Structure 1
Amino acid sequence: MKFSLSWLKQHLETDASLEQITAALNTIGLEVEGVEDRGAALAPFRIAHVVEAVQHPNADRLRACTVDVGDGTLRSVVCGAPNARTGMKAVLGLPGAYVPGTGITLKVGEIRGVKSEGMMCSSRELGLGDDHEGIIDLPEDAPVGQPYATWAGLDDPVVEIAITPNRGDALAIRGIARDLAAAGLGTLKPFAPEKVEGVYPAPLRWAVEDREACPWVLGRAVRGVKNGPSPKWLQDRLVSIGLRPINALVDITNFFTYDLGRPLHVFDARKVKGNTLFLRRARAGESYLALNGKEIAVTPEDLVIADSEAVESLAGIMGGEHSGSDENTSEVFIECALFDPVRIALSGRRHDLRSDARARFERGIDPALLPAALDAATAMVIALCGGEPSTVTEGGAEPAWQRQAGLRFERIAGLGGAEIAPDAAVGILERLGFGVVARDAEAVTVSVPSWRNDIAGAGALAQAPELPAGKARAAAEGCAAVEPECDLLEEVLRIHGLDRIPPVSLPVASPVPLPALTAKQGRAVLARRVLAARGMLDCVSFGFLDGKVAARFGETPAALRLDNPISADLDQMRPTPVASLLLAAARNAARGWPDVALAELGAAYRDITPEGQLAVAAGIRIGNTPRHWAAPARAVDAMDAKGDTLAVLAALGVPMAALSVTIDAPDACPMGFYHPGRSGVVRQGPKTVLATFGEIHPRLREELGLPGAAVGFEVFLDAIPEPKRRKKGAPDLPAFQPLKRDFAFLVDASVPAENLLRAARGAERSLITEVALFDRYAGDKLPEGKVSLAIEVTLQPRERSLTDAEIEAVGEKVVAAVAKATGATLRG
């Protein structure tokens, strides 16, 4: 929203400077986006009289001029303009002046041997236009020595402010003046146009067919008008805010759009077919040529103004060229209407039409201003174009906009954070146009002015009649129950000055800030990093699959089937992320890249409950392991998947000694896509399943087109227990050297190595700190059905060094414990 300082002062009686006004606008919530002050840039340029202009003695195209700027001193100026002549009035820049059109700063110089003490400027050099044919030639009555900007009316700064969507009243210069007056920067001038009496019946009448879209419309004709260019003062006002003058009738409507925030439209009454203007919904196939030169195909959702034959205007947004005024217009019909903001906004977006009228109607305009605005516009039309007015024709009726709102004084400090006396708060509301209905020591009830449709809006109108006399309707807590109270509080605070509200820091809940991630989020991030460090590519895939493919990986209940899938082959929520990764691997294999390692942290869906959506860290390895100098490439196997699984669990803080691995993967969960003899389940205790891993079933691998070996794993992140928060103690740093002893046991091949390790670990818990398997041998030198498992046992003495006898005693306990638990015997 732009306005000039002089235009603002047509509504505001004030002596405030531009700096004071812009500062006040910022503090009351009308943020200043820029100020254009051409007068300040042109201040060094003065009106000068060319006393004499003669041919330059050393240049054919230059003139040596003697110039008077009214200070009693004649100056020598060399000028190259063809129109420089004796006796003319021109605009002179003295040494030190900055020329905005050229970017140079003037200084005293010498041109071809003749001294030059200034520069007479063209319009382009002053940044006022494109004319560069000659210097500015001023009228003979131009006062010598006066600043050119002052004489030409260019010392009128233009201010641009940002308008929030709720402040439709601030899209009027009068509305801005009202806010400034309420803030103490002057007095708002009265606006009371004289009523214009009609001298003949209106030639057109209104027929409102959609009262919801247009509740009220007024119109008046003026005959005998002579349309032409608008007067200079009106053109200057429009040009200053970036509008292009068109003709007097159109310029008048643009003037009131900005002056009062009241859009108007003028029809050439003789171009309207019939004697009725219809406000109706557009019909299928209708269109009209808009004032922007484009053909607009209106829809049945749009409100239009039409005559008996065709659409003449898209109501509240843009008129049509057919009935627009031109130099031949002799009778004009002025439309002044009230439209539904939502419908205006939707139509404007639908057709991508932007106009000053739309910007105001979609925010809501003053519903009570229509008669006064129509009288003011009619008076200006008669004053500038002549003619005589008709009577006013009306459609619909003024809507019931009257409403009340209440404010409890204690909320100003309690919620607003500012200490404002009740009398001061009520005074602010009164200066903004609110009328006091009732007041006591605790609260005030006010009537809301018609131009503030953002106060006590639709959600609060039902509450307003219930406000008891003398105080606002109380709310138990906050402003949620009494919506208008927040609106009034905002008005009091912003006019008081938002910069005067003392800043208050939020209370610090803890000297130590809370972690940025929850434990669950932290586990997911850490798991992703571990898998990436193990050479797996992180994937992000859809959470849904083809229903037939999903059925190969688990149950597919109908409740998890999509009603509106993005594709016909993506209609079922996936049972496991492994399915998505295997499909991705199959696509890679089909394109000549069979060896991949992929991982994803995603969801597995079992049912529609929150508990049925599992957070899973899943991964697959396909084909061969990467080539390495230390070991040749080989086909991946279940142990690779097991290694990935245990690496993730270890990184997440799971106590590895408490884990067990069983071979019931197909039975432990509803997925049957693992090889039944080459897969396993990682458990913590007998019931808690933390992960599954293993080779992918050969039949499934063949169906997916995977050429080589394929293994996968799933770590169920939600099943991992939260680590117990313990205070950090002193580090365990024993003073004695640890001892390592190796044992090789002959054991049945069907016995899991895990059982043997667990038995050895529990043989002497006070000394044994670690047991690790380092060799497994099965061959023709061993009895059939037997394997050799070699383990390393670490002993850590704490009080003293162990004697040989004590070490032998621990070894005997290890052998005995393993033999008891697994039936193994010590190899010789």
Structure 2
Amino acid sequence: MKFTLSWLKTHLNTDAGLPEILKALTNIGLEVEGVENPAEKLGDFRIARVLTAERHPQADKLQVLTVDAGEGALQVVCGAPNARAGLVGVFGREGAVVPVNGMVLKKAAIRGVESNGMMCSARELELGEDHDGIIELSPEAPVGQVYAQWAGLDDPVIDVSITPNRQDCMGVRGIARDLAAAGLGTLNAIVIPTVEGSGPGPDVRVEDADGCPAFFARTVRGVANGQSPEWMAKRLKAIGQKPISTLVDITNYLMIDLGRPLHVYDMATLKGPLTARPGKAGEEVLALNGKTYTVDETMTVIADDVAVHDIGGIMGGEHSGAQDSTTDVLIECAYFTPERIAVTGQKLGLTSDARGRFERGVDPAFLDDGLSIATDLVVKLCGGTPSEATRAGEPPVAAKTVTYDPAQCLTLAGVDVAESEQRHILESLGFGVQGNDAAFGYEDGLPVATPANWTVTVPSWRRDVDGWPDLVEEVVRIVGLDQVPSTPLPRAPGVARPTATA
């Protein structure tokens, strides 16, 4: 699970620096696998203006440029077709290391003409896949400034290993919630927009409640798809996601940001109602990865009257996905059961970011809010008129409660945490805590201790919490797993007896 430091701070109000955040993540059980700051490898690349561009005397596809990177004019040989006088781009001077291949730039003669560095493409700087030409910046970009600083790339990317039981941390907000509970700041409130729908919602149905208990949807008509805004594209690119279009990027962004997978269909490709149903033997779907998959009766699919459009909860179909020309869309926000997702993914050998989240278990109580947030973003970024919401089926949102005595924390984990702190930790993580704390008094002149008796309500996004030992684990990891004492197990004196092993 990757995210940038600035992305994390949109959910976490904190003054903590990167080292403190990294240490806290590991202490609360979210192992940091790596940290990379793009700015560190781009320190020798500066904003430069092309002053002149002339044809190379010995090569038709090369040009001889003079560029100004803030230290006077330099001659550079360049093969980019878009290189021209007046262009402002990114220049790697002599001694700079090109990120994509580790090449050290040197002064060299190219077809007999001296070249003092390189004007760079996005791919060469590992900022994207574009290699058709050199980077083009705004004409107002400050010549001579370090590009990474000007472009705001000094933003560390944190990679955290999420264990299978922590589905709530498959979104940036869940990680921010854990850090806030650990005392590294406060969790910012999430704003759920009010969507004023016009006209009835789309015809969506559930005919496979075991695989898809709930299917919520809205349409937005009259959208204009295109490139997503810079702030969204920048965050996605930073974590290795390729921006595709505004409609697609919205779904990918919300999946990473809030842990809520969604899908957008081009309504022009749909024939009849959209139904979550079991697959039929021999049915095929061309998925967004360009591969064709054959489904069967054990799998949940999303289909209309004519064809299968989605391998439910894992990957959408290429035929009905949003295109540049899409004008009317249907936004799907559904709940797929983890067991069905796991079996389907294993049978098909198909992995995806959506599968990784549904397989762990997304928040079943976030369908309405997730659909509203997605609809609001579509309308704000693409325009259009939203419909009312259609809610087919019922998400599994039955409340789960656990009886808990805070003294069990010391008994099980060996960590003595005050009742008030335990209550604060659990409530900060979204648990509801009711009941009496431990008390000490006298009856008939004799001392009487009354143990605490709490009833803890488990939040809908914590599918993994089933009993009081899970609550102990929550308290202990937020206090810090490094606080658990190393205690040797008791053993009988003398030489240990042989143990038979299979």
CA distance change for structure 1 residues 225 and 91 in 2, over 3 Å: closer, same or farther?
closer
Per the normalisation by structure 1, the TM-score is 0.53
Report the counterpart of residue 678 of structure 1 in structure 2.
none
The two structures, once aligned, show a CA RMSD in angstroms of 3.3
CA distance in 1, matches of 2:471, 2:239: 32
CA distance change for structure 1 residues 254 and 62 in 2, over 3 Å: closer, same or farther?
closer
Report the counterpart of residue 158 of structure 2 in structure 1.
159
Identify the range of structure 1 (130-139 vs 300-309) with the bigger mean alpha-carbon deviation: 130-139
How do 1:176-195 residues align onto structure 2 when only pairs under 5 Å count?
Answer: 176-195=175-194
How do 1:486-565 residues align onto structure 2 when only pairs under 5 Å count?
Answer: 486-507=469-490, 509-510=492-493, 512-515=495-498
Report the counterpart of residue 300 of structure 1 in structure 2.
297
Q: Report the residue type matching 1:199 in the other structure.
A: S
CA distance in 2, matches of 1:436, 1:350: 42
Report the counterpart of residue 447 of structure 1 in structure 2.
457
Match of 2:382 among 385, 389, 399: 385
How do 1:305-316 residues align onto structure 2 when only pairs under 5 Å count?
Answer: 305-316=302-313
Tell me, yes or no, if the aligned pair for 1:64 and 1:76 is still in contact at 8 Å: no
How big is each residue's C-alpha offset from its partner over 1:743-771, in whole Å with a ceiling of 9 and x where there is no partner?
xxxxxxxxxxxxxxxxxxxxxxxxxxxxx
CA distance change for structure 1 residues 151 and 506 in 2, over 3 Å: closer, same or farther?
same
Shift, 1:487, TM fit: 0.5
Report the counterpart of residue 443 of structure 2 in structure 1.
none
CA distance change for structure 1 residues 67 and 292 in 2, over 3 Å: closer, same or farther?
closer
Shift, 1:439, TM fit: 2.9
CA distance in 2, matches of 1:152, 1:163: 30
Tell me, yes or no, if the aligned pair for 2:364 and 2:397 is still in contact at 8 Å: no
Shift, 1:354, TM fit: 1.2
Report the counterpart of residue 734 of structure 1 in structure 2.
none
CA distance in 1, matches of 2:330, 2:281: 27
How big is each residue's C-alpha offset from its partner over 1:356-410, in whole Å with a ceiling of 9 and x where there is no partner?
2211111111111111110110011111111101111111224342121233222
Tell me, yes or no, if the aligned pair for 2:259 and 2:357 is still in contact at 8 Å: yes
CA distance change for structure 1 residues 147 and 335 in 2, over 3 Å: closer, same or farther?
same
Secondary structure class of the residue paired with 2:360? coil
How big is each residue's C-alpha offset from its partner over 1:99-157, in whole Å with a ceiling of 9 and x where there is no partner?
535646679x8999xxx998454236544467789865543211234321122232222
Secondary structure class of the residue paired with 1:433? coil
Q: Report the residue type matching 1:210 in the other structure.
A: D
Shift, 1:253, TM fit: 1.3
CA distance change for structure 1 residues 511 and 63 in 2, over 3 Å: closer, same or farther?
farther
Q: Report the residue type matching 2:242 in the other structure.
A: R
CA distance change for structure 1 residues 387 and 104 in 2, over 3 Å: closer, same or farther?
closer
Secondary structure class of the residue paired with 2:240? coil
Report the counterpart of residue 210 of structure 1 in structure 2.
208
CA distance in 1, matches of 2:244, 2:386: 23
Report the counterpart of residue 238 of structure 1 in structure 2.
236
CA distance in 2, matches of 1:145, 1:4: 26
Secondary structure class of the residue paired with 2:389? strand
CA distance in 2, matches of 1:37, 1:319: 33
Secondary structure class of the residue paired with 1:369? helix
CA distance in 2, matches of 1:273, 1:87: 51
Shift, 1:351, TM fit: 1.5
CA distance in 2, matches of 1:87, 1:277: 52
Q: Report the residue type matching 1:372 in the other structure.
A: D
Match of 2:396 among 375, 395, 399: 399
The structure whose RCO (Cα within 8 Å, separation 6+) is larger is 2
CA distance change for structure 1 residues 376 and 148 in 2, over 3 Å: closer, same or farther?
same
Per the normalisation by structure 2, the TM-score is 0.85
CA distance in 2, matches of 1:141, 1:368: 47
Report the counterpart of residue 13 of structure 2 in structure 1.
13
Q: Report the residue type matching 2:167 in the other structure.
A: G
Residue 144, structure 1, aligned to residue 143, structure 2: yes
CA distance change for structure 1 residues 87 and 382 in 2, over 3 Å: closer, same or farther?
closer
CA distance in 2, matches of 1:155, 1:495: 29
CA distance change for structure 1 residues 136 and 176 in 2, over 3 Å: closer, same or farther?
same
Shift, 1:335, TM fit: 1.2
Tell me, yes or no, if the aligned pair for 1:206 and 1:395 is still in contact at 8 Å: yes
Tell me, yes or no, if the aligned pair for 1:120 and 1:135 is still in contact at 8 Å: no
CA distance change for structure 1 residues 429 and 129 in 2, over 3 Å: closer, same or farther?
closer
CA distance in 2, matches of 1:289, 1:106: 44
CA distance in 2, matches of 1:263, 1:131: 27
How big is each residue's C-alpha offset from its partner over 1:209-263, in whole Å with a ceiling of 9 and x where there is no partner?
2323322221111111122232232222222222222222222111111111111
Report the counterpart of residue 781 of structure 1 in structure 2.
none
CA distance change for structure 1 residues 128 and 191 in 2, over 3 Å: closer, same or farther?
closer
Tell me, yes or no, if the aligned pair for 1:95 and 1:117 is still in contact at 8 Å: no
Q: Report the residue type matching 2:418 in the other structure.
A: A
CA distance in 2, matches of 1:117, 1:295: 49
Tell me, yes or no, if the aligned pair for 2:53 and 2:63 is still in contact at 8 Å: no
Secondary structure class of the residue paired with 1:195? coil
CA distance in 2, matches of 1:425, 1:191: 24
Q: Specify every segment of 5 or more residues in structure 2 that has no aligned partner in the other structure, as ranges.
A: 57-61, 439-450
Tell me, yes or no, if the aligned pair for 2:279 and 2:299 is still in contact at 8 Å: yes
CA distance in 2, matches of 1:292, 1:279: 21
How big is each residue's C-alpha offset from its partner over 1:253-312, in whole Å with a ceiling of 9 and x where there is no partner?
1111111111111222232222x2222222333333222233322211122222223322
Q: Report the residue type matching 1:148 in the other structure.
A: Y
CA distance in 2, matches of 1:225, 1:80: 44
CA distance change for structure 1 residues 134 and 324 in 2, over 3 Å: closer, same or farther?
closer
How do 1:253-652 residues align onto structure 2 when only pairs under 5 Å count?
Answer: 253-274=251-272, 276-441=273-438, 442-443=451-452, 444-456=454-466, 484-507=467-490, 509-510=492-493, 512-515=495-498
Shift, 1:54, TM fit: 11
Secondary structure class of the residue paired with 1:184? coil
CA distance in 1, matches of 2:105, 2:404: 61
Report the counterpart of residue 31 of structure 2 in structure 1.
31
CA distance in 2, matches of 1:55, 1:313: 52
Identity %: 51
Report the counterpart of residue 445 of structure 2 in structure 1.
none
CA distance in 1, matches of 2:275, 2:103: 60
Tell me, yes or no, if the aligned pair for 2:221 and 2:384 is still in contact at 8 Å: yes
Shift, 1:337, TM fit: 1.1
CA distance change for structure 1 residues 82 and 353 in 2, over 3 Å: closer, same or farther?
closer
CA distance in 1, matches of 2:365, 2:168: 13
Report the counterpart of residue 59 of structure 2 in structure 1.
none
Tell me, yes or no, if the aligned pair for 2:53 and 2:66 is still in contact at 8 Å: yes
CA distance in 2, matches of 1:258, 1:513: 52
Q: Specify every segment of 5 or more residues in structure 1 that has no aligned partner in the other structure, as ranges.
A: 457-483, 522-828
How many residues are treated as equivalent by the alignment? 478
CA distance in 2, matches of 1:208, 1:453: 23
CA distance in 2, matches of 1:213, 1:87: 58
CA distance in 1, matches of 2:67, 2:323: 48
Secondary structure class of the residue paired with 1:502? coil
Tell me, yes or no, if the aligned pair for 1:367 and 1:401 is still in contact at 8 Å: no
